[in-house]
Structure 1
Amino acid sequence: MCEKKGVPGASALTEEEKKNGVRIALAGNPNCGKTTAFNAWTGAHQHVGNYPGVTVEKKEGWTRCGNQKVLLVDLPGAYSLTPYSMEERVVRDVLAPENAVERPRAVIDVIDSATLERGLMLAVQIRELGQPVVLACNMMDEAKRAGIAIDLEKLSARFGVRAVPTVARSGEGLDRALALALEKAQKPCEPLVLAYGPDVDPALQRMSALISEKKLLVERYPARWTAIKILENDEVVLDQIRKADPDAARDLEAQRDALAAHLSSTHDTTPDAVIADYRFGFINSVLKDGVLRKDNAKDRLAFTDKLDKVLTNTIFGPVIMLAVVYFMFWTTFIVGAYPQGWVEDFFGWLGELMTGVLPEGLVQSLVVDGVIGGVGGVLSFVPLILIMFLIVSFLEDSGYMARMAYMLDRVMRAFGLHGSSVMPFIIAGGIAGGCAIPGVMATRTMRSEKERMATMMTLPLMTCGAKIPVFLMLTAAFFAENQAGIMFAVTLCGWAVALLVSLFLRKTVFRGESTPFVMELPPYRLPTLRSILTHTWERGWMYIKKAGTVILAISVILWAALTFPALSEKQSAPFEEKIAALEAQIAPLDEQIAALKQQLEGAPADAAMSRALADATEQKAALEEQKSETENALASETVRNTWGGRIGQFVEPVFRPLGFDWRTDVALISGVAAKEAILSTMGTAYSIGETDPDEPDSLSARLAADPGWSKTVALALMLFVLIYSPCFVTLVVLKNEAGGWRWLFFSMAFNTGVAYLVAWAGTLVGRMIWG
């Protein structure tokens, strides 16, 4: 079975491995229960990131087997070691890395017992690569209920590896599989050598000899395995050989081409087809004579097929899907409103506490307005995100999510996208309230890079949860008679613009053939609570970490931009003098009102005194209104004088055709940092102080009364906010996922350009309707 000299796994554990842990890989087909097993082994002792250079998620976790510490590497789901997708390339690179020290000591291959034949195809290739393998025949309980019987002793003997029955949902058999993997990790093994017939085997022998002689990749792969990959036209291996020895590469490719020509002329086939046929032949020979029995098997998929007749029905399927998605977001907002309120109340209390503790000045403003206000506004969405992903995780693990992608594939393909684009769109805000960040991350499962890029670039056009407060405020101010209809129209507009933009991008920037939507529809299963909670926490924690890092930094920068430079004494003196004069006039009125009230208490009604009290109260109210207007004017001038205000005034001519003034422009600029900042920035810029997100009516009333605002301007602003540049965190995620700074700047510029055009069109429509 597996290792070559010099490769870890051929000897007993080193002292460092005994102390720091043994690396064991966890492989398997998609939907085989591998991640459930990984969660059962590692629990909360996991860390998630990306593999270097690619966007595929990397999950590792610690566990113990007896006294031995083990580092489990959860590999992406794969059907083979031929890199048809990014995930399959990652699997191979982890199993046979350039750095031999990072090579796993052994592999636990998790197989769905009901699809044993298909699962063994990956196991065959891992053994040919030269890795010790333990087969974890998972979901044995479901296989038994379906009437499928597997003789694991015979399977182990014939396949040359140990096979263990497991039920990952309950943890049954997992300890045994891990113990066997540790045992295999310390024993020498040789790569599996299969016979591929009289045509292929001689060519493999000649090519293997040349590879060994030239020492091509021999420290990474067995020579015969490398030869097989060349016959399978594996471009990754071919590129590696071309770089190592161009002359040997030409010789090996010539031998491949000669074999291909011979097989084509004599058998009308290709080398890779022959190799696949012989592998399946080997698997069938292993499973015959009672190893796998299905004679009395019930149809395991009968229940799934019955459900699919309804859930994927041409008519009822889409209706049920929309109902499920609506229920998901309805539950998110209804149930999440309570914990969200608690979080908001907590940060409100914390802000009041710090206001009382810290002396008035810059430090207090930084802590209360910058840190607590900025980060608190973002963290208030955590309960909603956790609830949403709890439901999404249930839909994923149950198998229904795959059906949603299947049903919407035809619609998405009409616009150059893919069935796999559906869930990223929904997560990003396809049903109002999502978030583009997890939506972008959800595109990692897409195989076509062109379709994936087009999907990523259009996800920020959805109605994410951070934009909703802005829309609610504007609808309350200008469309109070039909708020629900306007919100629904905005959501539909996001979909329409996203699909049209994606079609444009697929015809221009990301041109390429559409890939067929081929996916496995897994059987319906009841997910485990532990698996759902683990997935939910992983996603929620990523959001929380961003709020505590990037959003914190943005909030501080935004606070500084709207605070400095302060007005000079000369600039602020006229306002302060007027305020002081008004206070001087209000003070005697306060005394007069207090005296009149005291005289009227318990005395007979005196019309003259009552009239005097009313007059004094009216005068005081008028003076206080003047004072408030002066304070607002001072605040407005203060914001106008800051760097943020100056930038707003600088760009004002550009946005004047849309009806936006410099104060709105400042809010839009802050919205690039975080869409949550638009409301609070508008509140400050319009001189009414900080806006309470729970009570936006004050800002709504101010805008409704402002002569520079109208329904047309409100419509234009809603369309612009919906479409323009993603927030900073989303931009960073796009840069990381797309693989370069150019896509960050492309998304900013392109989305803003589209937003400007759509908003300008909105002003034309608005003028036609409202004048």
Structure 2
Amino acid sequence: MSKRIRIALAGNPNAGKTTLFNAITGARQHVGNYPGITVEKKEGFASSGGRELHLVDLPGTYSLTAYTQEELVARNYLIDERPEAVIGVLNASALERNMYLAVQVLEMGLPMALALNMMDEAAKQGIRIDAARLSEHLGIPVVETVARNGKGVEGLLTQTAAYAEQRAGSWEPLEISYGPDLDPVISEMVERIETEKFLTDRYPSRWLALKYLENDDEIRVVGRKTDKLAEELEAMAAKVAEHCKKTLSTYPEAIIADYRYGYITSLLRDVIVRDTDRQRIDFSDNMDRLLTHKVFGPLGMLGVLFMIYWFTFTVGDYPLGWVENFFAVVGDMVSNGLPDGLLKSLIVSGIIDGAGGVLSFVPLIMIMFLFIAFLEDSGYMARIAYMLDRVFRIFGLHGCSVMPFIVSGGIAGGCAVPGVMAARTLRSPREKLATLLTAPFMTCGAKVPVFILLISVFFPQNQALAMFCITMLGWVSALIVSRILRSTIIRGPSTPFVMELPPYRLPTLRGVMIHTWERTWQYIKKAGTVIVAISIVIWAMMTFPGLPADRLAHFESQREAIHAELAQAQPGSDLAQKLEKRLPLVDNAEGEAALRGSIAGRIGIALEGISSLAGFDWRTNIALVGGVAAKEVIVSTLGTAYSLGEVDTEATQPLAERLAKSPHWSALTAASLMIFILLYAPCFVTVVAIRQEAGGWKWALFSVVFNTGFAFAFSTLVYQGGKLIGLG
């Protein structure tokens, strides 16, 4: 096999780039039909015509100007890694706009092939494209593709690999005329750059000159560190900028953009043919008249969300019960098969009751993920972002904040970590910071099992409504806190919102099922690895140091006394039955005493003086402390805590039944706890992600302290207010 060929995939958001990457490599990464889903490059491997291909999926971006994190990542990869070829993935139905990025790559000089993707969508809109003529104009391979079903993919790979071998790594920059005002200074800059060999080991000379004219901050910083010629180039750029301002009332960046679009228009003049006889409004536009209407759009969005929860709880209750019963049977078998001791306690209370409690919710999680995958791949998620921008601006946020919120669990089931990372698309540091601090308020997939547990126990008649309300509370809290933060410690102006709405598409069954399984499998893996590990640690904290010898002797003497009375009682008599019921009560009393004296128990009891204001007892406190590591642990910790020290005689009884029978729990307690879990400190991994995106620990620690204080104040207000009006 020949040398491995590195190929980078570059394209606008919603051009189908990541779908094409999956079709080529078979990688099972998530694909969503809205901007911002691809934040970092993804890598995969494939083969074509005896060639081994190494593919890199670059972040979706509209240009290579260093304004956003995505643009910097994509540009720096192309410059520094110098792949043998680039596949420009273009949305065929919006070819003019998509060509802007392709032209910038061609100006860098990289070997490039174009994938005219979504040709089926273009055909529906009456658009015909002469790919052969476009290839002839540019002198590069141009291939029609439909990434969703793999059409044209093999041909694209074959032609790209052959072209990469033909070019053998040589860079041939495309040269575009930028008019009489800029061409002379560009030529002069290029001559000076090449004479002085100024950064030519890294950048093409003409491209570098254009970056100086475009006032590219990154290039200027690099230049200042390298050579005195940087000052001369900056002076030349400033001089021509002043000239353009006086004579044309514009600036070089705008002139460059105008000439690029002029070049694209002339390039495509005889390439694109539109069916002018078909006097019809595009299907997506018809749909958007209703689905993004100022009144009916938001109402429909809320209706869709409520429908998801109604279906999830209505259909999911049955498999949820089956899985719970399965773990109860497994717990019984292990409990009966092992002798009493630490090993039995670890397996039954630490692992089965811990991780088993989390895994019980897999059926409901899977149903929820199924709906989310359908909404993402259909294009409706982007409409949600578009509609919510009107609201977000009122609260000092940007429309692009919608995506981090949705990814974090705005429609239950997301994750705050990629949500926080998705905030990179925000250009304003203040809007980005407000988004980072409030995105963890969403109902992420880690919180969902806790909410499902409490809702099914304490709000059985209104499960969908309760889940809908807790989701809406996350949004409302995020907006209110954002407004407070943007009005106080992170003041600053708002930036405008521009977003492309992709056409509606009917998702493929295979695509939806793959995306659903990916998320579900990630949840299962986390429950089977991280959650098990944390559950074992917390079990140890709830087990050790154990009761002192005198307390153990006290409980043992009680058992011996009961056994002695039982030996004298007539078998089957009322007295014998009463004595038999007293034995497990002694065991449970010993377990509760041991739990209270454990490390975790002491922490929980120490916090109970304050937490009781919000209705949380010491067992709940143990679970909440563990939840700082990962929110899923809350369910497993409650299961372990009630397994080790429950007053009920059935040790393997499901956690839901234990909570329902516990005198410490009520609907008001559950409501208060759900509010606290929704809003308090982000999990540890999310805190680290905030630290990375905010550039330090200051704001990461602020999110822990502020969010917890806000959550506790809110929960206390609800609990005490509920008691006042007689709900407790």
TM-score (norm 2): 0.89
Contact 2:59 2:73 in 1 (8 A): yes
The residue type paired with residue 124 of structure 1 is V
How many angstroms apart in 1 are the aligned matches of 2:605 and 2:356?
29
Deviation at 1:130, TM superposition (A): 1.5
Residue number among 227, 239, 242 corresponding to 2:221 in the alignment: 239
Deviation at 1:342, TM superposition (A): 5.1
Query: Structure 1 residues 390, 22: CA separation in 2 closer, same or farther (over 3 Å shift)?
Result: farther
Which residue of structure 2 lines up, in the alignment, with residue 565 of structure 1? 545
Q: Given the alignment of the two structures, is residue 149 of structure 1 paired with residue 128 of structure 2, yes or no?
A: yes
How many angstroms apart in 1 are the aligned matches of 2:427 and 2:109?
27
Residue number among 681, 698, 704 corresponding to 2:658 in the alignment: 698
Q: After the TM superposition, which residues 101-500 of structure 1 pair with which residues of structure 2 at under 5 Å, given as runs?
A: 102-186=81-165, 187=167, 188-245=170-227, 247-288=228-269, 290-294=270-274, 296=276, 298=278, 302-341=282-321, 343-355=323-335, 358-422=338-402, 424-426=404-406, 428-430=408-410, 436-437=416-417, 439-440=419-420, 443=423, 445-464=425-444, 467=447, 490-500=470-480
Which residue of structure 2 lines up, in the alignment, with residue 646 of structure 1? 602
Q: Given the alignment of the two structures, is residue 593 of structure 1 paired with residue 579 of structure 2, yes or no?
A: no
How many angstroms apart in 2 are the aligned matches of 1:501 and 1:177?
49
Q: Given the alignment of the two structures, is residue 80 of structure 1 paired with residue 36 of structure 2, yes or no?
A: no
The residue type paired with residue 194 of structure 1 is I
Q: Given the alignment of the two structures, is residue 679 of structure 1 paired with residue 638 of structure 2, yes or no?
A: yes
How many angstroms apart in 2 are the aligned matches of 1:454 and 1:733?
14
Deviation at 1:445, TM superposition (A): 5.0
How many angstroms apart in 2 are the aligned matches of 1:586 and 1:358?
25
The residue type paired with residue 644 of structure 1 is A
How many angstroms apart in 2 are the aligned matches of 1:729 and 1:340?
28
Contact 1:30 1:77 in 2 (8 A): yes
Q: Which whole-Å deviations, capped at 9, do the CAs of 1:623-659 have from their partners, x for residues lacking one?
A: 3454444333211210111111122233333435445
The residue type paired with residue 277 of structure 1 is D
SS of match in other structure, 1:296: coil
Q: Which whole-Å deviations, capped at 9, do the CAs of 1:713-732 have from their partners, x for residues lacking one?
A: 66544443332223445445
Deviation at 1:177, TM superposition (A): 1.4
How many angstroms apart in 2 are the aligned matches of 1:335 and 1:353?
29
Contact 2:310 2:463 in 1 (8 A): no
Deviation at 1:561, TM superposition (A): 0.6
Query: Structure 1 residues 550, 505: CA separation in 2 closer, same or farther (over 3 Å shift)?
Result: farther
Deviation at 1:127, TM superposition (A): 0.8
Q: Given the alignment of the two structures, is residue 532 of structure 1 paired with residue 532 of structure 2, yes or no?
A: no
Contact 2:309 2:464 in 1 (8 A): no
Contact 1:423 1:439 in 2 (8 A): yes
Contact 2:59 2:71 in 1 (8 A): yes
SS of match in other structure, 1:703: coil
The residue type paired with residue 248 of structure 1 is L
How many angstroms apart in 2 are the aligned matches of 1:106 and 1:178?
11
Contact 1:47 1:60 in 2 (8 A): no
Name which structure has the greater RCO, CA cutoff 8 Å, separation 6+: 2
Contact 1:418 1:517 in 2 (8 A): yes
How many angstroms apart in 2 are the aligned matches of 1:465 and 1:46?
18
Alignment RMSD, CA only?
3.3
How many angstroms apart in 2 are the aligned matches of 1:494 and 1:276?
42
SS of match in other structure, 1:32: coil
Q: Which whole-Å deviations, capped at 9, do the CAs of 1:82-117 have from their partners, x for residues lacking one?
A: 1222112211122112xxxx3211011121222222
Contact 1:109 1:133 in 2 (8 A): yes
How many angstroms apart in 1 are the aligned matches of 2:435 and 2:652?
35
Larger radius of gyration: 1
Deviation at 1:683, TM superposition (A): 1.6
Unaligned regions of 5+ residues in structure 2, if any?
A: 32-36
How many angstroms apart in 1 are the aligned matches of 2:18 and 2:682?
32
Query: Structure 1 residues 157, 189: CA separation in 2 closer, same or farther (over 3 Å shift)?
Result: farther
The residue type paired with residue 751 of structure 1 is N
The range that moved more, 761-770 or 127-136, is 761-770
Query: Structure 1 residues 327, 440: CA separation in 2 closer, same or farther (over 3 Å shift)?
Result: farther
Unaligned regions of 5+ residues in structure 1, if any?
A: 1-14, 49-53, 595-615
How many angstroms apart in 1 are the aligned matches of 2:674 and 2:153?
53
Deviation at 1:430, TM superposition (A): 4.5
Contact 2:39 2:422 in 1 (8 A): no
The residue type paired with residue 19 of structure 2 is T
How many angstroms apart in 2 are the aligned matches of 1:482 and 1:340?
17
Which residue of structure 2 lines up, in the alignment, with residue 57 of structure 1? 40
The residue type paired with residue 135 of structure 2 is S
Query: Structure 1 residues 442, 121: CA separation in 2 closer, same or farther (over 3 Å shift)?
Result: closer
The range that moved more, 183-192 or 452-461, is 452-461
The residue type paired with residue 688 of structure 1 is V
The range that moved more, 515-524 or 348-357, is 348-357
SS of match in other structure, 1:57: coil
Contact 1:675 1:727 in 2 (8 A): no
TM-score (norm 1): 0.84
Contact 1:494 1:723 in 2 (8 A): yes
SS of match in other structure, 1:72: strand
Which residue of structure 2 lines up, in the alignment, with residue 66 of structure 1? 49
SS of match in other structure, 1:107: strand
Percent identity between the two aligned chains? 52
Which residue of structure 1 lines up, in the alignment, with residue 647 of structure 2? 688
Which residue of structure 1 lines up, in the alignment, with residue 77 of structure 2? 94
Query: Structure 1 residues 345, 63: CA separation in 2 closer, same or farther (over 3 Å shift)?
Result: farther
Query: Structure 1 residues 38, 742: CA separation in 2 closer, same or farther (over 3 Å shift)?
Result: same
How many angstroms apart in 2 are the aligned matches of 1:428 and 1:287?
41
Contact 1:431 1:463 in 2 (8 A): yes
Q: Which whole-Å deviations, capped at 9, do the CAs of 1:108-157 have from their partners, x for residues lacking one?
A: 11212222221221111101111111111222333334332322232222
How many angstroms apart in 1 are the aligned matches of 2:546 and 2:620?
20
Q: Which whole-Å deviations, capped at 9, do the CAs of 1:747-770 have from their partners, x for residues lacking one?
A: 322211112222332344234312
How many angstroms apart in 1 are the aligned matches of 2:653 and 2:278?
57
The residue type paired with residue 137 of structure 2 is R
SS of match in other structure, 2:9: strand
Residue number among 753, 767, 771 corresponding to 2:709 in the alignment: 753
Contact 1:397 1:527 in 2 (8 A): yes
SS of match in other structure, 1:61: strand
Deviation at 1:309, TM superposition (A): 1.3
The residue type paired with residue 17 of structure 2 is K
Which residue of structure 1 lines up, in the alignment, with residue 34 of structure 2? none
The range that moved more, 566-575 or 525-534, is 525-534
Q: Which whole-Å deviations, capped at 9, do the CAs of 1:407-432 have from their partners, x for residues lacking one?
A: 12112222222334445445545466
How many angstroms apart in 1 are the aligned matches of 2:16 and 2:450?
42
Query: Structure 1 residues 313, 542: CA separation in 2 closer, same or farther (over 3 Å shift)?
Result: same
How many angstroms apart in 2 are the aligned matches of 1:549 and 1:736?
25
Contact 1:691 1:699 in 2 (8 A): no
How many angstroms apart in 1 are the aligned matches of 2:212 and 2:450?
57
The residue type paired with residue 119 of structure 1 is N
